[in-house]
Amino acid sequence: MHEAPSEVDRSFRGEQERLLGHDIEFQDMTERTWNNKDPAYMDDEPRDETIGGHVSGVDAAPDNGEHEQAPPVYRVYKRRWFGLMQLVLMNIIVSWDWLSFSPVANTAAEYFSTTSSIINWLSTAFLFAFVVAAPFTIYALHTGGPRLALITSSLLILSGNWIRYAGTRASPPNFPVT
């Protein structure tokens, strides 16, 4: 037997409806279960992979009157694996750019007619660039989402690498462009 909702419950429900912008069914927190059919999370067809071996998410409950909460079902989406692969590849490219002259600092110094100390400062400049770019990255993620942030960052990486390549191919090689 359920008791009538208290004033606190009604105000909590009103606050939820105001924040979510639509009417919701209020349930007691002890009766709340995971909803795996939420349309907000169904961006593409899930694969049949689950964690813990629970395919349906419901274990056979003992029939002694005790009800156990079913563990949540974790679904794997192909689109998210693709996004993760893009992020990993972009991190690898940035790391290669960052450390490209470090192993051959003396050779690079001879090629660019500069000192190895200036070549080594290039790696330090990358660290400073990360500090400067971090607020812009947060802003791009917040306003445009991960997709726009990945596209923008990949275009910036691509253009930066072409500029860097042009600096190495110039005659004579131009280290400040690099």
pLDDT score at 79: 87
- Determine contact, residues 31/70, Cβ cutoff 8 Å: no
User: What is the token pair recorded at 69?
Assistant: 């909460």
Which letter does DSSP use for residue 56 in this model?
Answer: S
Token pair 């690099």 in the structure block, residue: 178
User: What is the token pair recorded at 141?
Assistant: 């993620």
pLDDT score at 98: 86
pLDDT score at 102: 82
Sign, CA torsion 150/154/157/159: negative
Query: Could you tell me where the DSSP H helices lie in the chain?
Result: 7-20, 78-99, 105-112, 116-169
**How many beta carbons lie within 10 A of that of residue 84, not counting itself?**
10
Regarding pTM above 0.85, the answer is no
Residue 124: strand, helix, or coil: helix
Distance of CA 127 to the CA centre of its chain: 21
Instruction: Compute mean pLDDT per 10 residues along the chain, 178 residues long, and list them.
Output: 58 60 43 44 50 47 64 86 92 89 88 89 88 92 91 93 90 83
pLDDT score at 89: 94
Rg (CA), the chain: 27
CA distance 76 to 49: 6
Token pair 């791009």 in the structure block, residue: 140
